[in-house]
Amino acid sequence: MTRCVALVVAAGRGSRFGGDIPKQWRDLCGRPVLRHSLAAFAAHPSVDAVKVVINPDDRAFYDAAASGLNLGEPISGGPTRQESVRLGLEALSDLAPDVVLIHDGARPFIDAGVISRVIAALKDQPGAIPALPVHDTLKRAGRDATIEATVPRTGLWRAQTPQGFRFPQILSAHRAAQGQDLTDDAAVLEAAGLAVALVQGNEDNLKITTSEDLRRAEARLARPGDVRVASGYDVHRFTTGDHVTLCNLKIPHDAGLEGHSDADVALHAATDALLGCIAAGDIGRHFPPTDPKWKGADSALFLAHAGALIDGLGGVIVHLDLTIICERPKVGPHRAAMTARVAEILGIAEQRVGVKATTTEGLGFTGRREGIAAQAIATVRLPG
């Protein structure tokens, strides 16, 4: 499978939740509910694109939730969830993905393991969903709220999202199922006579339906988390020019740096270090050098994107340490401005950013003044 798109459905009005704001746009520990799942998909190394289906009236909410995540234009949904999914799938036709992951926008805690298991199952089956086996005894109630029957729980599972499908089959199945009232996308594929595999879900992958669910989600984010440390490294060779770009500052020099974007070697190393903390691949996955739209791009966009992914996952950048390796230009006179600019891009305090410089004492390619190297170490704290 070479191309995977996540389709996040966030067009509902959340009538069971109540209030004036649909649940997917409610605040969850400083971020919209939807932002948590958007960041999880955008960070996953096997997800090539993320698209969101919304109610057109919610565009301002979407812009706030997707800020910095490089997701592009949302898709307008329909009057029902099933119709919203179909419209979303129709809009993906131009991308022609191999597989699509369909996720409820009110499930903020989807994790990378569940995403990976669903994608892996699609190698052998046209559909796959995460689910949890039912352990509680099930009762069917009568109209007077008394027990009518005990339902055998053997073979019963609780379905979650994202539900994954081979794109041509699920699009065809949704077209055929228009007007029906099926409860999830797996049921749509089942109605078309195709198999759907079950993979292990996650108890934390709750769906926010009521205000009590939101309180449970807040408690989950309050649990002690873990601290991640990762490194980044980058190199760019010198070329003709009159300045180099380091930490988003133009530094006068008798040469420039060669690269597809602005060749900001320092920000590229910093971006990779931050992406490494959340196992999100490298800068090339998020901003491919083969894509002409990133030609000459400002690398501040790359660093801000990595910061937005961490923020969306509820993480905090504890510290970012940068070392720039070159004989010339001298970094010392610009260190304070570099520190301030990196902190500004990431929205963190300057004391959480360190910028250093060193030479290689005339040795190697930097010693021969053929280019500049940079390395970075990032420390990030994530919720439990």
Per residue in 174-204, pLDDT (tens digit) is: 999 999 989 999 999 999 999 999 999 999 9
Structure confidence by residue, pLDDT tens digits, 324-369 = 999 999 999 999 999 999 999 999 999 999 999 999 999 999 999 9
Of all residues in the chain, the percent with pLDDT exceeding 70 is 98
What is the pLDDT, as a whole number, of residue 143?
86
Q: pLDDT tier at 384 (50, 70, 90 boundaries)?
A: confident
The confidence score (pLDDT) of residue 227 equals: 97
Strand bridging mode 127-133 / 49-54: unpaired
Q: Residue 223: what pLDDT?
A: 84
At 1, the pLDDT band (50, 70, 90 cuts) reads very low
pLDDT at position 2 over 70? no
Tokens standing for 38?
């958007």
Region 360-381: mean pLDDT is 96
Quickly tell me which residue has 């873990």 as its tokens.
Answer: 226
User: Does the pLDDT at position 28 exceed 60?
Assistant: yes
pLDDT band for position 215 (50/70/90)? very high
Distance CA 75, CA 91 (A): 7
Q: Is 291 exposed, middle or buried (0-12, 13-18, 19+ CB in 10 A)?
A: exposed
pLDDT band (50, 70, 90) for residue 16: low
pLDDT at 66 over 80: yes
- pLDDT for the residue 19: 72
CA dihedral 288, 294, 297, 299 (to 10 degrees): -20
- Which tens digit of pLDDT belongs to each residue from 226-282? 999 999 999 999 999 999 999 999 999 999 999 999 999 999 999 999 999 999 999
Of 95 and 275, the structure prediction assigns the larger pLDDT to 275
**Mean residue pLDDT across the chain:** 95
Indicate if the pLDDT at residue 146 is higher than 70. Answer: yes
**Taking phi first (over 0 means left), then psi (-120 to 50 degrees means alpha), and beta for anything else, what does residue 263 get?**
left
Residue 72 pLDDT? 85
